């Protein structure tokens, strides 16, 4: 994939690595066959290939992420099944991690998303709290 990062962007090691990874992608689409969100939703932007296009556009242009881009990036399960089928060896894990960090730094989520994320961060890492939450859900 051809990229057009500016030289000042490539000073940042994350951008430099993302540029290398994006250039390795040949758009073959093998990743779509193993992506669970693409298989269920059938939307190209919910496939690794579609997300790569969104990530490339967002990072290259230093674009403030919009709700549409964030939705598709958030839908990635980070199962990395796509990496096992990629003949070009695209390290999708770095791209999705970089995109999520960029989104966290540049996108203000709606209050209900922030509240839900805060609650999940207070419950899921703690087994006792998690068990109590599961009991409360019954």
- Provide CATH code, domain 9-107: 1.10.1060.10
Cβ–Cβ < 8 Å for 112, 69: no
Single pTM value for the model: 0.88
Cβ–Cβ < 8 Å for 83, 91: yes
Tens digits of pLDDT across the chain (138 residues): 899 999 999 999 999 999 999 999 999 999 999 999 999 999 999 999 999 999 999 999 999 999 999 999 999 999 999 999 999 999 999 999 999 999 999 999 999 999 999 999 999 999 999 999 898 777
In angstroms, the CA 2 to CA 129 distance is 47
Within the chain, which residue ranges are assigned CATH 1.10.1060.10? Answer: 9-107
Helices (H), 25-66: 36-41, 48-60
């Amino acid at each position: 994939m051809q990229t057009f990062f500016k030289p000042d962007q490539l000073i940042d090691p994350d951008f430099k690595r993302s540029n290398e990874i994006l250039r390795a992608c040949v758009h073959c689409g093998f990743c779509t066959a193993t992506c669970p969100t693409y298989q269920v939703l059938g939307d190209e932007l919910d496939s690794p290939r579609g997300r790569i296009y969104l990530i490339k556009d967002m990072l290259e242009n230093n674009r403030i992420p919009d709700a549409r881009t964030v939705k598709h990036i958030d839908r990635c399960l980070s199962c990395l099944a796509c990496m096992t089928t990629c003949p070009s060896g695209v390290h999708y894990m770095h791209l999705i991690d970089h995109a999520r960090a960029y989104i966290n730094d540049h996108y203000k989520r709606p209050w209900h998303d922030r509240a839900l994320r805060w609650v999940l961060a207070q419950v899921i890492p703690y087994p006792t709290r998690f068990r109590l939450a599961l009991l409360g859900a019954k």
